[in-house]
Chain A
């Protein structure tokens, strides 16, 4: 299986594999995802891993603890294509680091072009998982179905678990509006855990069929409603 939880036994991680970090409030709930910035022949839980990720802002030399890892068994060519994608957008997020973070982040949809009056795209906004999905799509690997209609609806509580740094902001309707989740919800948000569950399939399937997320996929491994723990269904 190309996705797994990281335990005490060391595993190998390759560059641009998907790294998931559990929410501090709830083990198993994937709170954040990133791209491994470099290869590690032997990685064990509790070690810090260099990552490239959208915190926000996008960090080229970030670090995080990997609680789970997902792989599409990328070829070298695909790695180069993903790298080029990252190089194209990174300065937009360097600017966000020095300017306004929230303006360059979006929760729903997972990616959004910001345009000037003449419709020129000036920059792109991503969620953390959106950045990874678009990076993989650049290499023609479409891990996840992201049309909003069939996505599970997510309530504010689940979003607060997903975005602990934004908890204060998520209570403000104007900020929610800015992040693409106007109103009181629930919303069809692409959560971080979905991509790991999307990668927990045979490699051939990953490359041929986008994964359609279901309630419970915010956890990795998924916890289906009514089986164990919280479901992430609208609160």
Chain B
């Protein structure tokens, strides 16, 4: 039996009642959606229902969060667990589930289908694009289904006994305590194995960040990090996102500049795939800034695509309403500095935007960071080559409202 269950979970600070909004949204849908998700009836033609049936999972809880006040972002979290979880009364959200040991084990057995997330845009006054949301949800589940299939294929087709490799944990475990180079080699070898358990892969991705990868090991690691990022960037499992964040830092820091910035631009692109969570936007923009600081572009507008993506972020987030919200300020700050460091030629607009922002705490912080970056650039032997960047950073550092006031 498949049952769809819609719940509202506690709205985040500053949001309205999104369950009520979602209900209104469905009631206005054109053509009408029948039955509504609250009818407790499954619709086998719904893509998510089919996937759930395939996976033998019986409860789906969709929780609606949202950011009111102009952003019109609707975040839909779909939480799935098997019918055995029904015996846990009052289980209403993922955090609660994690506290229940029995259920945790159960969820682990459902990996990677445990939590999915989709986002869709929503305008209260406009008929919702329900088809678009469904399509996004369908794609999320399709990705999960492919992963499940791939895992099943691996489990059905184990390597012949004579050629079977030792357990994946052992390679890295054996290298523990060994010299860093051996550990780097062992991590690369383990990550290359398709039969590596997901949890183990995640652990190795995290370990790779703190080891000094160089030369051929670094070159071998880079595509494995990219593959991990692409596979799990849309995951809603917190531990996956932590590992993706780690992989992003490692990838951007380790890959050649061109590759790193191409990947960063692709991750920040809003169209095509689901936007990455804001936690990952913090990592991408922060690492872009760090990479550009260490390797300023030798030519002007060398990374056009990246500059466009950073400009989009500045446009979207550098607004008084957003900056005080958790993590938006961090993304905006790094996007502004990153945009200047790309030498994109879009500096005049950024400077004007920052000048008129009227968010003193953010402007002060930006001014101090810009001043530090400028001093760092000019202290280098090659500092004179980047006089244009230094000039814009100098102008940003003069934007300190207290300076302007005096």
Show the binding face of A for B, using Cβ within 8 Å: 76-78, 80-81, 83-84, 87-88, 91-92, 94-100, 103-104, 114-123, 138, 140
Contact = CB atoms under 8 A, between A and B. Distances in A.
Given A103-B210, A120-B253, 6 more contacts: A77-B364, A84-B329, A84-B330, A88-B282, A91-B283, A117-B254
Contacts of B206: 95, 98-100
A116 B222 CA distance: 13
A136 to B, nearest CB: 13
28 contacts: A80-B324, A81-B361, A81-B365, A84-B329, A87-B282, A87-B329, A87-B330, A91-B245, A91-B283, A92-B249, A94-B242, A98-B203, A98-B242, A99-B206, A99-B207, A100-B210, A115-B294, A116-B253, A117-B218, A120-B287, A120-B293, A121-B253, A121-B293, A122-B249, A122-B250, A122-B253, A122-B290, A138-B365
B242 A95 contact: yes
Contacts of A78: 361
B286 A88 contact: yes
A77 B365 CA distance: 10
Contacts of B365: 81, 84, 138
A88 B324 CA distance: 14
Question: Chain B interface mostly helix, strand, loop or mixed?
Answer: helix
Contact of A95 (B209, B294, B362): B209
Contacts of A103: 210
Contacts of B361: 76-78, 80-81
A128 to B, nearest CB: 19
A174 to B, nearest CB: 10
B239 interface: yes
Contacts of B203: 98-99
A231 B338 CA distance: 47
Contacts of A140: 364, 368
Contacts, number: 103
Interface residues of B, number: 43
B36 to A, nearest CB: 36
A179 to B, nearest CB: 13
B333 interface: yes
Contacts of A104: 210
A91 B249 CA distance: 10
Closest A-B pairs by Cβ, 4 of them: A99-B206, A77-B361, A103-B210, A122-B253
B189 interface: no
A93 to B, nearest CB: 10
Contacts of B252: 120
Nearest to A78: B361
B185 interface: no
Contacts of A87: 282, 326-327, 329-330
B279 interface: yes
Contacts of B242: 91, 94-95, 97-98
B243 interface: yes
B210 A117 contact: no
Contacts of B207: 99-100
Interface of B: 202-203, 206-207, 209-210, 213-214, 218, 239, 242-243, 245-246, 249-250, 252-254, 257, 279, 282-283, 286-287, 290-291, 293-295, 324, 326-327, 329-330, 333-334, 360-362, 364-365, 368
B21 to A, nearest CB: 28
Contacts of B295: 118-120
Contacts of B282: 87-88, 91
Contacts of B218: 116-117
B227 to A, nearest CB: 18
B360 to A, nearest CB: 6
Contact of A123 (B209, B213, B257, B324): B209
Contacts of A98: 202-203, 206, 239, 242-243
A124 to B, nearest CB: 10
A94 B291 CA distance: 21
Contacts of A77: 360-361, 364
Contacts of B293: 120-121
B218 to A, nearest CB: 7
Nearest to B326: A87
Of A91, A94, A123, most buried by chain B (CB within 10 Å of CB) is A91
Contacts of A121: 253, 290, 293-294
A208 to B, nearest CB: 15
B253 A99 contact: no
A95 B208 CA distance: 11
B364 A95 contact: no
A99 B246 contact: yes
Nearest to A94: B242
A117 B291 CA distance: 11
Contacts of A117: 214, 218, 254
B245 A95 contact: yes
A97 B207 CA distance: 11
B294 A118 contact: yes
